[in-house]
Structure 1
């Protein structure tokens, strides 16, 4: 099977992008990261790309007068790489419906909460403020609903009484670095697909909450 072509979209540090790069280098993912694209010129993820000899591209959203014009430029750049999968890894932009539909079934996102809980921002503090005992991250196919696409897999962490937003974020990030490359590996090996807005894994339809990484041996 030929390696799949991966384009990663980032806005910041890029720790998930780094985990994906390393999984490709070790052949845990049957894929190749062709480009890392950021909407922020100062994103450290671009340095990670250069170090790995991956195309590092900036499309600064501040240079565009509308969300649509930015997304048009972004789509053109992504399409130039003919990717099999587009991975959002801390990409802090709300995408327009046209771009999302263009990549239907080919775009994944990771969100730091146990969706459908806490879509949007400040998820760690919101979980603490709500008195939750569990928190985590979810990977889903991207749809036009913010953080509302079909869930593929989730990973859980416990919330300790002394956890802060920062300490909880670190716990969740450690799990993200394991689960995101794993899900991408499933996609690249043909085990995972989106069919009629349902997640199909190993030819079986998943429940709406997807697979729980902590309880399932993959």
Structure 2
């Protein structure tokens, strides 16, 4: 771990609540990730205004303006390179990325998902959890690979399922856990205390304890 902060981009598609948690953490000069760009594929994403209010440069690359995923990903990659990005953090970024893009950024791009992976991938996660009758759910931070929600896990937070609660109830409590877990996981990757090696996550010392939340 060095004192230099890694230049980080946060990619969003919506309101950016996890982005806001990351911005709060990164406001500390000692935090190892410096958020230098918030980028959205949707011009009206609510998180853009929140980032601008925090003084973070923003950019929109509207996926609807491109003919296919490969063309969009090429534009996205160019924007990240132009900004000198070292770490890409997906925070509610609702686009499937091409294998070529994920391969280029392998080990330098992470995502958060609102379940205890590998359970309940994809969408409608909380409905899946309640329908499955699980007693615990939660959230997971993982390295992004070509397969959706399947990359090596960096950290997880456990959220008990309350009998009779709605998907919205579970989603709200899970989101609160995400806001604790994601800044901790981003810090580990940015500092080099968690890294991707030979298809799995490796940690420096007991760093994994900081991203194992209950």
Q: 1:152 aligns with which of 147, 151, 154?
A: 154
- Within 5 Å, which residues of 2 pair with 1:87-166? 87-166=89-168
Distance in 2 of aligned mates of 1:203 and 1:150: 18
Give the 3-state SS of the residue equivalent to 2:31 in structure 1.
Answer: coil
Distance in 1 of aligned mates of 2:99 and 2:123: 20
Name structure 2 gaps, 5 residues minimum: none
2:62 pairs with 1:66: no
Report which stretch shifted further, 107-116 or 196-205: 196-205
Per residue, is there more helix in 1 or in 2?
Answer: 2
- Within 5 Å, which residues of 2 pair with 1:5-24? 5-24=7-26
Structure 1 runs of 4+ off > 4 angstroms?
A: 203-206
Name structure 1 gaps, 5 residues minimum: none
Q: Aligned residue for 2:35?
A: 33
Distance in 1 of aligned mates of 2:112 and 2:30: 19
- Alignment TM-score, normalising by the size of structure 1: 0.93
CA contact (8 A) 1:191 1:202 kept: yes
Quote how far apart the aligned CAs of 1:29 are: 2.0
Aligned pair count reads 211
Q: Aligned residue for 1:212?
A: 212
Distance in 2 of aligned mates of 1:185 and 1:205: 10
Distance in 2 of aligned mates of 1:11 and 1:62: 13
Q: 2:189 aligns with which of 184, 187, 190?
A: 187
- RMSD of equivalent CA atoms: 1.7
Quote how far apart the aligned CAs of 1:212 are: 2.7
Q: Aligned residue for 1:52?
A: 54
Q: Deviations over 1:151-190 (max 9, x none)?
A: 0111011111121111111000000001100011112222
Instruction: Provide closer, same or farther for how the CA distance between residues 98 and 4 of structure 1 changes in structure 2, counting only shifts above 3 A.
Output: same
Report which stretch shifted further, 79-88 or 27-36: 27-36
